[in-house]
Amino acid sequence: MSDFAARRTTMVDTQVRPSDVTKFPIIDAMLTVPREDFVPAAQREAAYLGENLDLGQGRVVLDPRTLAKMLDHLAIENDELVLDVGCAMGYSSAVIAHMAEAVVAVEEDEAMAAEAQEALAQVGADNVVVHVGPLAEGAPQHGPYDVVIIQGAVAELPEALVDQIKDGGRIACLFMEEGLGEVRIGYKQGAQLSWRSEFNAGAPVLRGFERQVAFQL
């Protein structure tokens, strides 16, 4: 039988800490949340590899380093409401639940959303609500949000998600351009976002987040 607890410690010691992620709530959450319970059964043995975990149909569980560094730059406080877009089977939401007051986890795949609800209940993440619907639409009925994080890459950020960020709030996006990816943190002031580039990463572009091509007649 695999010693997943030991693998969690190794993941944090070899993937997370060396990436200059030192905030205690992130380290504690990633040492605590059983990542293997939030992936398909056939991929449990691969749960702690330092790479994106392929879920098929252009969806992944982001590699531990990328998620940890996103959370580090977002600096989520324990009184904040977080929108987790593309939660898949709920791992990212379970981690964020350790640092936020509440999490709204958006998933458009009904089967994955159901598995997320079950797995989140199993780990006692009772401050997470799973919302089933298109990722690009977010969950406006529960917002606005202090923090938005997207579990996959974007080529273009839907305006619907920008509208759901509180004035003074922030968003983490992995922008992919011509095969190169960069995580940026956006800070909202009024109706505008100002972006700061933070680190390189990679993931498939999510459906609904592709660059819109303008057709000219």
pLDDT of 217: 52
Taking only the tens place, the pLDDT of each residue in 13-67 is 999 999 999 999 999 999 999 999 999 999 999 999 999 999 988 899 999 999 9
C-alpha dihedral (32, 33, 35, 36), degrees to nearest 10: 80
Q: What is the rounded distance in angstroms from the CA atom of residue 142 to the CA atom of residue 116?
A: 18
- Mean pLDDT for 124-130 is 97
- Determine phi and psi for 9, rounding to 5 degrees: -60, -45
Residue 215 — very low, low, confident or very high, per pLDDT cuts 50/70/90?
A: low
Structure tokens at 58: 């252009």
Residue 211 — very low, low, confident or very high, per pLDDT cuts 50/70/90?
A: confident
Q: What is the rounded distance in angstroms from the CA atom of residue 183 to the CA atom of residue 172?
A: 7
Taking only the tens place, the pLDDT of each residue in 145-197 is 999 999 999 999 999 999 999 999 999 999 998 888 999 999 999 888 999 99
Taking only the tens place, the pLDDT of each residue in 79-120 is 999 999 999 999 999 999 999 999 999 999 999 999 999 999
